[in-house]
Amino acid sequence: MRPNRFKKRLAGKPQVGTFVKIDSAETIELLGYAGFDFIVIDMEHTTLDFGQAERMVRIADLHGMSSIIRVPDASRMSILRALDLGAAGVQVPQVYSADEVREIVDKAKYPPHGSRGLTYAHRAAGFGHTPDTYMADQNEASTVIVHVETVNAYERIDELCAVEGLDVVFIGPLDLSVCLGIAGTDYIGGELAGPVQSILDACRQTGKIPGIAVTNAAQYKFALQQHIPYIVWSSDVAFFKQALDAVVRTKSTIELEDTEES
């Protein structure tokens, strides 16, 4: 079975990933060749199922990337399946309270630290080629990530960050700005800067790993300056759209120049 070293890599240098929304082997391979450290398979905002997610994890593994699954919900079955299929961790959106985070940790960990159901007949356990230390290794290595993107979670950030077993607190700028009634997602110099800084401070005070979504060079530089190890840069869909937009702009420019010359 393949060792899960993602959490250890987070403790070393910043890890850069991207949301993957398209079930495409070629897309994942391209991300691997490009040098991404990990992917976040997005089951929240897509129609991806767990069978597709398992194939995507396999492809990422072959290209040296870890896989996090953004599960569709915080149910026991969603968390169990994501971890059983071999993902390095789970990322849970729409969290509202510390009690909910404790339940997420409980579902993600084997006894005595949780209540995750046990079998060795799945990919994470090597389909039975399982070392005696499997449960302890999984409890140590599986990364538990939750989003801070609701008013409740933001207002209770200190309680949330204090939950034992939670590894990464992920800042979702778009949802956070909407729920706080802030116009725009500028967390460097805009209205969102204060709330984001308070979340980062809470992470530092409790020893939690902060994570954030970035979409441009300025935000990436901010993430590095703030020593944020878990960085998710845009998505495969956004990269594709940006490339297409660039082609269309070039096409329009050439057509305009050709018209003026003639």
């290209």: which residue's tokens?
63
Catalytic status, residue 129: no
The radius of gyration of the chain's CA atoms, rounded to the nearest angstrom, is 20
Is 157 within 8 Å of 197 (Cβ atoms)? Answer: no
Work out the angle between the directed axes of helices 76-84 and 98-108 (0-180°, nearest 10).
40
Is 71 within 8 Å of 85 (Cβ atoms)? Answer: no
The β-bridge relationship of strands 209-214 and 143-148 is: unpaired
How far apart CA 240 and CA 219 sit, in angstroms, is: 20
Exactly one of 45, 122, 129, 227 is catalytic; name it. Answer: 45
103's CB contacts (< 8 A; 6+ apart) are: 74
DSSP 108-160: HS-TTS------SSSGGGGGG---TTHHHHHHHH-EEEEEE-SHHHHHTHHHH
How far apart CA 237 and CA 250 sit, in angstroms, is: 20
How far apart CA 177 and CA 196 sit, in angstroms, is: 10
Cis peptide before 112 (omega within 30 of 0): yes
Distance of CA 45 to the CA centre of its chain: 13
Write out the catalytic residue numbers: 45
